[in-house]
Protein backbone atom coordinates (compact mmCIF):
# COMPACT_ATOMS: atom_id res chain seq x y z
CA UNK A 1 0.00 0.00 0.00
CA UNK A 2 1.37 3.43 -0.91
CA UNK A 3 1.78 6.20 1.60
CA UNK A 4 -1.27 8.43 1.96
CA UNK A 5 -1.19 12.15 2.69
CA UNK A 6 -3.84 14.63 3.75
CA UNK A 7 -3.58 17.73 1.58
CA UNK A 8 -5.81 20.67 0.67
CA UNK A 9 -8.02 20.01 -2.33
CA UNK A 10 -6.21 22.76 -4.27
CA UNK A 11 -3.16 20.46 -4.48
CA UNK A 12 -5.05 18.15 -6.87
CA UNK A 13 -7.78 20.33 -8.39
CA UNK A 14 -8.76 23.84 -9.33
CA UNK A 15 -12.14 25.50 -9.18
CA UNK A 16 -14.43 28.16 -10.51
CA UNK A 17 -17.45 29.71 -8.87
CA UNK A 18 -20.32 32.06 -9.50
CA UNK A 19 -23.68 33.09 -8.17
CA UNK A 20 -27.23 33.72 -9.24
CA UNK A 21 -29.57 35.14 -6.65
CA UNK A 22 -29.16 33.14 -3.44
CA UNK A 23 -27.64 30.15 -5.22
CA UNK A 24 -23.93 29.44 -5.38
CA UNK A 25 -22.31 27.34 -8.12
CA UNK A 26 -18.82 25.84 -7.71
CA UNK A 27 -16.99 23.56 -10.12
CA UNK A 28 -14.00 21.48 -9.03
CA UNK A 29 -11.78 20.17 -11.84
CA UNK A 30 -9.01 17.58 -11.47
CA UNK A 31 -5.53 18.66 -12.54
CA UNK A 32 -4.63 15.09 -13.51
CA UNK A 33 -6.67 12.00 -14.41
CA UNK A 34 -5.27 10.19 -11.36
CA UNK A 35 -6.97 12.74 -9.11
CA UNK A 36 -10.44 12.20 -10.58
CA UNK A 37 -11.43 9.14 -8.46
CA UNK A 38 -10.33 11.01 -5.34
CA UNK A 39 -12.58 13.96 -6.19
CA UNK A 40 -15.55 11.66 -6.70
CA UNK A 41 -14.86 9.78 -3.45
CA UNK A 42 -14.02 12.68 -1.15
CA UNK A 43 -15.79 15.82 -2.37
CA UNK A 44 -19.34 14.80 -1.50
CA UNK A 45 -22.56 16.76 -1.12
CA UNK A 46 -22.41 16.26 2.66
CA UNK A 47 -18.85 17.55 2.96
CA UNK A 48 -19.57 20.57 0.77
CA UNK A 49 -22.70 21.38 2.80
CA UNK A 50 -20.59 21.22 5.98
CA UNK A 51 -18.01 23.58 4.41
CA UNK A 52 -20.76 26.16 3.85
CA UNK A 53 -22.71 25.66 7.09
CA UNK A 54 -21.31 28.96 8.39
CA UNK A 55 -23.17 30.68 5.53
CA UNK A 56 -26.45 28.88 6.34
CA UNK A 57 -26.45 26.77 3.16
CA UNK A 58 -29.56 24.60 3.13
CA UNK A 59 -28.91 22.13 0.30
CA UNK A 60 -26.14 20.94 -2.02
CA UNK A 61 -26.61 19.11 -5.31
CA UNK A 62 -23.55 17.52 -6.94
CA UNK A 63 -23.30 16.91 -10.67
CA UNK A 64 -20.60 14.48 -11.86
CA UNK A 65 -19.11 15.45 -15.23
CA UNK A 66 -17.00 12.40 -16.07
CA UNK A 67 -16.00 13.48 -19.59
CA UNK A 68 -14.17 16.52 -18.27
CA UNK A 69 -13.26 15.06 -14.86
CA UNK A 70 -15.10 17.74 -12.96
CA UNK A 71 -17.73 18.07 -10.28
CA UNK A 72 -20.27 20.88 -10.21
CA UNK A 73 -21.98 21.85 -6.96
CA UNK A 74 -25.13 23.94 -6.70
CA UNK A 75 -25.45 25.29 -3.15
CA UNK A 76 -28.73 26.83 -2.05
CA UNK A 77 -29.20 29.68 0.44
CA UNK A 78 -25.49 30.43 0.94
CA UNK A 79 -25.49 34.06 -0.17
CA UNK A 80 -27.63 35.90 2.38
CA UNK A 81 -30.39 36.37 -0.17
CA UNK A 82 -28.05 37.26 -3.03
CA UNK A 83 -25.72 40.08 -3.96
CA UNK A 84 -28.41 42.74 -4.27
CA UNK A 85 -30.05 42.04 -0.92
CA UNK A 86 -26.98 41.21 1.20
CA UNK A 87 -25.51 43.83 3.51
CA UNK A 88 -22.04 42.30 3.30
CA UNK A 89 -20.22 42.92 -0.01
CA UNK A 90 -18.25 39.67 0.33
CA UNK A 91 -21.27 37.36 0.26
CA UNK A 92 -21.43 36.91 -3.49
CA UNK A 93 -20.11 33.70 -5.01
CA UNK A 94 -17.23 34.80 -7.22
CA UNK A 95 -14.49 33.79 -4.79
CA UNK A 96 -16.08 30.92 -2.89
CA UNK A 97 -14.23 28.24 -4.88
CA UNK A 98 -11.17 29.20 -2.84
CA UNK A 99 -13.00 28.23 0.34
CA UNK A 100 -14.01 24.84 -1.06
CA UNK A 101 -10.47 24.20 -2.34
CA UNK A 102 -9.24 24.42 1.26
CA UNK A 103 -11.06 21.15 2.05
CA UNK A 104 -8.68 18.40 3.19
CA UNK A 105 -8.54 15.25 1.05
CA UNK A 106 -6.53 12.04 1.45
CA UNK A 107 -4.39 11.16 -1.56
CA UNK A 108 -1.53 8.83 -2.45
CA UNK A 109 1.77 10.63 -1.84
CA UNK A 110 2.80 10.02 -5.46
CA UNK A 111 -0.09 12.20 -6.65
CA UNK A 112 1.30 15.33 -5.04
CA UNK A 113 4.97 14.41 -5.40
CA UNK A 114 7.67 15.30 -2.94
CA UNK A 115 6.46 18.60 -1.54
CA UNK A 116 9.88 19.30 -0.03
CA UNK A 117 11.95 18.51 -3.12
CA UNK A 118 12.68 22.14 -3.96
CA UNK A 119 13.99 22.67 -0.42
CA UNK A 120 16.24 19.61 -0.69
CA UNK A 121 17.86 20.83 -3.92
CA UNK A 122 18.44 24.35 -2.59
pLDDT number for residue 56: 85
pLDDT number for residue 82: 59
The model's pTM is 0.81
Q: Which 3 state secondary structure label does DSSP give 66?
A: helix
What are 40-49's contacts with CB under 8 Å, separation 24+?
A: 40/64, 40/71, 42/103, 42/105, 42/106, 43/9, 43/71, 43/100, 43/103, 43/105, 45/73, 47/103, 48/73, 48/75, 48/100, 48/103, 49/75
Domains annotated for the chain, with CATH where assigned, are: 4-121 (3.30.1360)
pLDDT number for residue 93: 63
Q: Give the C-alpha distances (Å, rounded to integers) separating 121 from 77, 109, 118.
A: 48, 19, 5
Residue-wise pLDDT tens for the chain (122 aa)?
A: 579 999 999 999 999 988 877 789 999 999 999 999 999 999 999 999 999 998 889 999 999 999 999 999 999 988 766 555 555 555 456 678 888 999 999 999 988 865 444 333 33
Amino acid sequence: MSEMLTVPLHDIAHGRSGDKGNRLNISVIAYRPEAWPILVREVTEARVLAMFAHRSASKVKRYVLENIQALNFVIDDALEGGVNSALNLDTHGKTTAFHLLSMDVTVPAALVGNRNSENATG
